[in-house]
Amino acid sequence: MDLKPFAASLPTTSGLEKLKSNTPDWQASDAKPVTAPSYYWYELTKDGVHQWRLIASWPAGKTVTTVIPSTINTVLYSQQPVIEMLIDDWVGHFPKAFELTDDHGVTHRLWQITDADVTADITETLAPIEPRKTWLTTISTPLVMLVADQEWAKFKAPVEVPDHLIEFLNA
């Protein structure tokens, strides 16, 4: 997969409060730019079940058919032990960008991976992995979330990602 780290806009304290309560009046002051090129590990938890995702930058113009609606498009791939190892080895070494529990009882945790050596390692590790192409988007998007098949199957119904959780910056 041709993925890269990216600059993002993340919610501020006021933005997190709005995401928690599903308040729709999003303002510019509810987000802040993070210009360091980063990958993001994203953990969702509902009813004690955890799912891990990797948020990455996706090449412009890359499209195929999809059956998964999502604010940030979701790419499924076959279970890859090396990616699971990356999660286990690296998540605890980076600060949590934020944590919130939304009004549906879903806890969202996001870790920002900024270290150049680590982001290079993630890029290299993901390069030879082929996604399940029938699960990609028909609309070109700058961001995708990678989820392993077995991780995706953990929830009986897909858990929604709040609007404004993370946004791509043209840096």
* 1 within domain boundaries: no
Q: For the whole model, what pTM was predicted?
A: 0.88
* 20 within domain boundaries: yes
Total structural domains within the chain: 1
* 85 within domain boundaries: yes
Residue numbers of the domain that contains 29: 6-168
Question: Is the pLDDT at 51 greater than 60, yes or no?
Answer: yes
Contact 11, 165 (CB under 8 A): yes
* 25 within domain boundaries: yes
Condensed to tens digits (0 to 9), the pLDDT of residues 56-76 reads 998 877 764 555 555 677 887
* 107 within domain boundaries: yes
What is the DSSP secondary structure assignment for residue 93, as one 8-state letter? Answer: G
Condensed to tens digits (0 to 9), the pLDDT of residues 141-166 reads 788 888 888 888 888 887 888 889 99
* 23 within domain boundaries: yes
Helices marked H in the chain — which ranges? Answer: 13-21, 81-90, 116-126, 149-152
- Chain center to CA of 161: 9
* 116 within domain boundaries: yes
In which band, very low, low, confident or very high, does the pLDDT at 85 lie, cut at 50, 70 and 90? confident
